[in-house]
Amino acid sequence: MAGRFSSSLAGWYFASKHAVEALSDSLRMEVKRFGIKVVLIEPGAIKSNWSHIAMDHLVKSSRGTDYEKVANKMARQTNKIYASKFASKPSLVAKKIKKVVDSNHLRPRYLFGFSAKPTIFFNAILPTRLMDKLIPMFM
C-alpha cells in the first residue's frame, strides 16, 4: 500500500515500497507466459514492533536538527496508529495470505486492512496538494 503514496521523513521507506510495486508489475507481465502468477499483498498498517523501531531511529537521528520537532510529532502519531484499530493484527494478514495462496482466481493486488482501501481511494481522487496536507495528519 505504501507504494502508492509517500510521506515526508520516510522517503527511503516509501521508495522501497514503490520499487516493490514496479518490480511486481514487471515480473507479473514477464512470467505470465510461463504460467506463473505474481500478486502483490498490500495490508496497510500491521500491529508490530516496526513502528517503534523505525520511529525511535527517526527521533534519535533528528535530535538537535531542524527536523527534531516534526520527527517527534510523526513518531507519536505513527506509534499511536500502529497501536490502534487502524492497524491490522498479524493473524488477519496471515489468514488473508493463506486465502490468496489457496485461491484459483488470483488478482494482481490484494489491498486489505482497516485503513488501506480508504487511503488508496482518497489518494486516487483527491488533488495531490490536498493529499500532501492530509497524509502527515495520519503519519
Where in the sequence numbering do the catalytic residues fall?
Answer: 13
CA 128 remoteness from chain centre: 18
Distance of alpha carbon 59 from alpha carbon 54, whole angstroms: 9
Long-range contacts of 69-78 (CB under 8 A, 24+ apart): 70/8, 70/9, 71/9, 74/8, 74/9, 74/136, 74/139, 77/137, 77/138, 77/139, 78/51, 78/54, 78/139
